[in-house]
């Protein structure tokens, strides 16, 4: 079977999307391509965002491939799956452009994972994959529609009935291969994600060493795979890293939800000519391991910190397992060896704003960057959504979005100060 | 002034603020020294580079001038492995002691052996790039003749006096122990040489076999390439000097296309286009040119030496140095099999990027820390020795 894997040309105007708007490597599509090729299929990755091609050019390129199946991402990459754009404007437009040219249309991403029926209806695709898509796409590529009932973690419409089979899928990271990106892709990737210490001196790349996080961060949309922490084998990570370095990469961003303290990995990074950025939970790291992280070449830490609580651990959500003082001490310690440390303050709707502002000022004075608390979007499937409205239904995204822009009239560091309503954003996209 | 190390993977350790490093203008020592000095400079360690063995080329001098904090001190003293070197070695020793008195380094890094026995007040680290005795044994398959006894004694003396001994491969470290006696527990360290991957990069490959090295050095075994070149479908192009330091040289055979000595940018240009790099060496403690070829994405065909297998593992084809038929078979196989050639080239580059100057400098800082911890700098000598005029032409 011939498969096209499409990262559409993302636009974010009017969106409340908080993530980085630069192109990043679509690593989920990269894994899918490798697994599909390993299974004997022909797979082509079309990264319209990175190449700056519009929908017309995208349609022409996909049509020329004559694929039997086309996969479209509903969020820019795994890096953004934790906090995706709430609207489906771009994937809806991509599906509309590719219908009739791409064979079986399959959507992958956070929307279908949280609200599969709504995503099926909005996008008008043939199949939605729930959760991590790589291995499911190989099953889909080898199956006829009459065999879809055997495939886990998909949603599809047959004979006017929506079928949703199982919950979000968690891929086996031990079997995912070391990714290979061609020289042109790497050369194009000049953006160094979350790097502020130096002017980029060469291309960058995103990688991952693990998925999953046992923490229940209020704003995280990936609540379905919360408790399973999965690591890629070190040999695979290093194989991929060395291939990137051979292509000229100077900087790597590890997109792990929670970059883990791993002495063996850090010592291997130390021995290589590369600098890197991470996102981590600072309370998982000892001072010694933070020192090693800095020596290994870490130039940027984004430490997600929810509003600190004087009492420390929240027994229900297990958020913030360290006290404010201990978190502060760890952040300041990290800053001794890492040039940029950010305490990423998010407002999950609890705690005292004055206390947070005071803490922010204290961190700034100690050399740790702390943004103004950004109101956390209650992503369907996240604890913040579930606490307020229960399990997400087909109107979950509209409900969360309407609540968000109504509640937060001042938007702090938000990129667009006047976000548009979700229905307006998605209107006319199809 | 020694400081606390922020560049090693382990716990914080002392590191030097200034290093006095010897280097020479022959072979790969200069290349390693300049890569290391640059990486040390980025780690905040200044280097005073004391050059022996002849004048630097303008390009080399310019490369040194571009390194922040590097002080270049040139001389033309003969090196310890050259013919009849001992008067020059003695004079160079006085010159180095004077230099130490003037620049007050925290550590002396010697890219040679004999001068480690000098009464430096700073700890000394010896780097074993190669040695005449192991070279002789590898090339001639027998121990070095008795005329090298003085060399053996002086090198052994230097090794004993060193606070740490570094070799670019475990095979070289083992060869040292075989020739000069055991180094002692914890004194030997392996630090592979390194090259900045931005200096050597692949370009679209062209159908020729490339080789590089001093044509006069029997260890390079370019005679084997001369034998097989007429029977290959692709031309064999060789870059390297054909004149030995004593003036005697060896010209490349007519079956090879000899470029003579080429500077680094031109070497990088040839390597970037070469599909295959051949080095059927009899002796190669590391193989700097092979590293440059690997960074350039060449498929590697190498002499079957423990050191090269240690460095390149499965990223090269290996042939016995004396087996011209095997060399021809390996080269012919790669000439005919484009997929294998490209895969091997990609594998070589992926392996080569691990040998980065940053990693090398970090490992050296670890060894420096060991040396500093083992023997803190001694007080300054009260009466510095007289400084006779060197027979070379020191610049400073």
ipTM confidence: 0.72
Which B residues in the span 271-300 are in contact with A, Cβ-Cβ below 8 Å? none
pLDDT-based confidence at B251, cuts 50/70/90?
low
Average pLDDT across chain B, whole number: 89
Query: Which residue in the set B9, B352, B356 is minimally distant from A292, CB to CB?
Result: B9
Q: Do A273 and B9 touch (CB under 8 A)?
A: no
d(CA B396, CA B51): 11
- Measured between beta carbons, the chain A residues lying within 8 angstroms of B349 are 246
Asked if B154 has any chain A CB less than 8 Å from its own CB, the reply is no
pLDDT at A314 over 80: no
Model confidence pLDDT, tens digit, residues B107-123: 999 999 999 999 999 99
pLDDT score recorded for residue B391: 35
pLDDT-based confidence at B1, cuts 50/70/90?
low
pLDDT score recorded for residue B45: 96
- Rg, C-alpha atoms of chain A: 21
Inter-helix orientation angle A89-98/A55-65, to 10°: 40
pLDDT at B252 over 70: no
Our CA-based measurement puts residue A252 at a distance from the nearest CA of chain B, in whole angstroms, of: 15
pLDDT-based confidence at A377, cuts 50/70/90?
confident
d(CA A217, CA A317): 8
Q: Is the Cα torsion angle B179, B180, B185, B190 positive or negative in sign?
A: negative
- Measured between beta carbons, the chain B residues lying within 8 angstroms of A251 are none
Whether B134 and B175 have beta carbons less than 8 Å apart is answered as yes
- Measured between beta carbons, the chain B residues lying within 8 angstroms of A295 are 6-9
Q: What are phi and psi of B381, to 5 degrees?
A: -65, 140
pLDDT-based confidence at B132, cuts 50/70/90?
very high
pLDDT score recorded for residue A214: 65
A47 CB neighbour count, 10 Å cutoff: 25
- Measured between beta carbons, the chain B residues lying within 8 angstroms of A273 are 196-197, 353, 356-359
Residue B199 class from Cβ within 10 Å (0-12 exposed, 13-18 middle, 19+ buried)?
middle
**Collapsing DSSP states into helix, strand and coil, what is residue A6?**
strand
Our CA-based measurement puts residue B73 at a distance from the nearest CA of chain A, in whole angstroms, of: 29
**Interval A284-303 mean pLDDT:** 95
B256 or B176, which is more confident: B176
Average pLDDT across chain A, whole number: 87
Interface size, chain A vs chain B, as Cβ–Cβ contacts under 8 Å: 52
Residue A147 class from Cβ within 10 Å (0-12 exposed, 13-18 middle, 19+ buried)?
exposed
Q: Do B359 and A272 touch (CB under 8 A)?
A: yes
**Angle in degrees, CA B4, B49, B86, rounded to 5:** 120
pLDDT at A37 over 90: yes
Our CA-based measurement puts residue A103 at a distance from the nearest CA of chain B, in whole angstroms, of: 32
pLDDT at A119 over 50: yes
pLDDT-based confidence at A324, cuts 50/70/90?
confident
pLDDT at A63 over 90: yes
A353 or B249, which is more confident: A353
Which of B4, B8, B9, B347 is most worth mutating to test chain A (most A CB atoms within 10 A of its CB)? B9
Whether A375 and A412 have beta carbons less than 8 Å apart is answered as yes
**Interval B323-334 mean pLDDT:** 96
pLDDT score recorded for residue B246: 60
pLDDT score recorded for residue A419: 77
pLDDT-based confidence at B5, cuts 50/70/90?
very low
Task: For residue B192, give the chain A residue with the closest CA.
Answer: A271
Whether A220 and A382 have beta carbons less than 8 Å apart is answered as yes
pLDDT score recorded for residue A221: 58
**Interval A87-102 mean pLDDT:** 95
Query: Which residue in the set A248, A267, A295 is minimally distant from B6, CB to CB?
Result: A295
B70 or B6, which is more confident: B70
d(CA A48, CA A73): 11
Task: For residue A275, give the chain B residue with the closest CA.
Answer: B358
d(CA B309, CA B331): 18
Q: How many alpha carbons lie under 13 Å from residue A278 in its C-beta half-sphere?
A: 24
Model confidence pLDDT, tens digit, residues A188-208: 999 999 999 888 889 999 999
Query: Which residue in the set A267, A272, A337 is minimally distant from B354, CB to CB?
Result: A272
pLDDT score recorded for residue A8: 97
Token digits of residue B266: 């031109």
Asked if B11 has any chain A CB less than 8 Å from its own CB, the reply is yes
Model confidence pLDDT, tens digit, residues B253-280: 677 888 888 889 999 999 999 999 999 9
pLDDT at B392 over 70: no
Left if phi > 0, otherwise alpha if psi is -120 to 50, otherwise beta: which for A160?
left
User: Which letter does DSSP use for residue B242 in this model?
Assistant: -
CB burial string B235-261: b at 16+ within 10 A, e below: ebbbbbbbebbeeeebebbeebebbee
- Measured between beta carbons, the chain A residues lying within 8 angstroms of B365 are none
Residue B97 class from Cβ within 10 Å (0-12 exposed, 13-18 middle, 19+ buried)?
buried
Our CA-based measurement puts residue B366 at a distance from the nearest CA of chain A, in whole angstroms, of: 12
pLDDT-based confidence at A237, cuts 50/70/90?
very high
pLDDT at B237 over 90: yes
Model confidence pLDDT, tens digit, residues A96-107: 999 999 999 999
* CA-closest candidate to residue B25, choices B51, B43, B44: B51
pLDDT at B88 over 90: yes
Query: Which residue in the set B9, B349, B353 is minimally distant from A295, CB to CB?
Result: B9
Q: How far is CA A163 from CA A140, A155, A225, A394, in A?
A: 15, 5, 21, 14
pLDDT score recorded for residue B257: 86
Model confidence pLDDT, tens digit, residues A18-30: 888 999 999 999 9
pLDDT score recorded for residue A249: 96
- Rg, C-alpha atoms of chain B: 21
Q: What are phi and psi of B138, to 5 degrees?
A: -70, -40
Token digits of residue B313: 């593992």
Model confidence pLDDT, tens digit, residues B185-214: 789 999 999 999 999 999 999 999 999 988
pLDDT at B79 over 50: yes
Our CA-based measurement puts residue B354 at a distance from the nearest CA of chain A, in whole angstroms, of: 6
pLDDT score recorded for residue A215: 64
pLDDT score recorded for residue B217: 84
């Amino acid at each position: 079977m011939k498969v096209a894997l499409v990262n559409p040309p993302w636009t974010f105007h009017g969106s409340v999307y908080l993530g980085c708007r630069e192109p990043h490597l679509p690593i989920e599509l990269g894994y899918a391509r490798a697994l599909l090729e390993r299974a004997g299929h022909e797979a082509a990755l079309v990264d319209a965002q990175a190449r700056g091609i519009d929908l017309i050019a995208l349609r022409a390129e996909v049509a020329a491939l004559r694929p039997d199946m086309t996969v479209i991402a509903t969020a820019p990459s795994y890096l953004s799956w934790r906090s995706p754009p709430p609207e489906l404007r771009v994937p809806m437009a991509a599906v509309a452009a590719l219908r009739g040219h791409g064979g079986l249309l399959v959507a992958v991403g956070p929307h279908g994972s949280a609200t599969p029926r709504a995503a099926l209806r909005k996008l008008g695709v043939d199949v939605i994959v729930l959760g991590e898509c790589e291995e499911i796409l190989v099953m889909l590529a080898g199956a006829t529609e009459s065999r879809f009932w055997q495939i886990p973690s998909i949603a599809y419409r047959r004979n006017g009935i929506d079928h949703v089979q199982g919950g979000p899928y968690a891929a086996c990271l031990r079997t995912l291969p070391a990714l290979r990106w061609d020289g042109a892709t790497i050369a194009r990737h000049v953006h160094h994600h979350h790097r502020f210490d130096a002017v980029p001196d060469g291309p960058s790349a995103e990688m991952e060493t693990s998925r999953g996080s046992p923490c229940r961060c209020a704003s995280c949309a990936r609540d379905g795979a919360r408790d399973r922490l999965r690591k890629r084998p070190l040999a695979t990570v290093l194989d991929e890293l060395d291939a990137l370095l051979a292509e000229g990469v100077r900087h790597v961003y590890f997109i792990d939800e929670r970059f883990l303290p791993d002495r063996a990995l850090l010592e291997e990074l130390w021995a290589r000519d590369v600098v890197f950025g991470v996102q981590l939970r600072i309370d998982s790291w000892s001072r010694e391991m933070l020192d090693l992280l800095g020596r290994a070449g870490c130039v940027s830490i984004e430490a997600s910190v929810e509003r600190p609580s004087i009492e420390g651990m929240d027994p229900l959500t297990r958020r913030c397992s360290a006290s404010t003082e201990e978190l502060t001490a760890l952040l300041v310690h990290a800053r001794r060896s890492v040039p940029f440390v950010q305490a990423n303050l998010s407002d999950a709707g609890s705690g005292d704003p004055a206390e947070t502002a005071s803490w922010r000022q204290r961190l700034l004075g100690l050399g740790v960057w702390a943004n103004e608390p950004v109101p956390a979007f209650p992503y369907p499937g996240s604890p913040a959504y579930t606490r307020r409205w229960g399990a997400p239904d087909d109107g979950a995204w509209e409900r969360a979005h309407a609540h968000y822009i109504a509640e937060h009239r001042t938007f702090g560091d938000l990129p667009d100060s006047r976000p548009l309503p979700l229905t307006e954003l998605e209107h006319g996209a199809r | 002034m020694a400081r606390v190390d922020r560049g090693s993977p382990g716990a914080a350790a002392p590191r030097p603020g200034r290093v006095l490093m010897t280097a020479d203008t022959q072979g790969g020592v200069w290349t390693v020294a300049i890569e290391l000095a640059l990486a040390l400079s980025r780690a905040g360690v200044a280097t005073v580079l004391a050059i022996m063995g002849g004048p630097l080329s303008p390009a080399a001098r310019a490369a040194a001038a571009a390194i922040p904090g590097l002080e270049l001190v040139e001389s033309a003293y003969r090196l310890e492995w050259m013919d009849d070197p001992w008067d020059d070695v003695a004079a160079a020793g006085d010159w180095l002691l004077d230099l130490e008195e003037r620049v007050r380094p925290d550590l002396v890094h010697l890219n040679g052996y004999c001068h480690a026995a000098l009464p430096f007040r700073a700890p000394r680290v010896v780097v074993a790039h190669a040695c005449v005795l192991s070279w002789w044994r590898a090339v001639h398959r027998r121990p070095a003749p008795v005329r090298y006894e003085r060399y053996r004694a002086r090198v052994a003396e230097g090794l004993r006096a060193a606070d740490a001994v570094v070799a670019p491969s475990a095979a070289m470290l083992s060869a040292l122990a075989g020739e000069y006696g055991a180094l002692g527990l914890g004194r030997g360290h392996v630090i592979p040489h390194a090259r900045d991957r931005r200096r050597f990069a692949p370009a679209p490959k062209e159908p020729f076999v490339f080789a590089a090295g001093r044509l006069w050095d029997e260890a390079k075994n370019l005679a084997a390439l001369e034998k097989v070149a007429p029977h290959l479908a692709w031309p064999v192009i060789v870059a390297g000097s054909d004149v030995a330091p004593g003036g005697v040289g060896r010209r490349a055979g007519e079956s090879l296309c000899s470029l003579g000595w080429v500077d680094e940018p031109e070497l990088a240009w040839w390597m970037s286009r070469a599909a295959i790099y051949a080095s059927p060496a009899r002796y190669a403690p590391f193989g700097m040119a092979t590293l440059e070829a690997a960074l350039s994405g060449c498929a590697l065909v190498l002499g079957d030496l423990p050191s090269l297998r240690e460095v390149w593992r499965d990223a090269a084809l290996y042939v016995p140095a004396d087996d011209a038929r095997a060399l021809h078979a390996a080269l012919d196989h790669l000439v005919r099999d484009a997929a294998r050639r490209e895969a091997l080239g990609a594998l070589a580059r992926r392996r080569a990027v691990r040998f980065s100057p940053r990693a090398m400098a970090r490992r050296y800082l670890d060894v420096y820390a060991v040396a500093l911890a083992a023997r803190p700098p001694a007080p300054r000598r009260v009466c510095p020795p007289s400084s006779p005029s060197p027979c070379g032409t020191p610049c400073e």
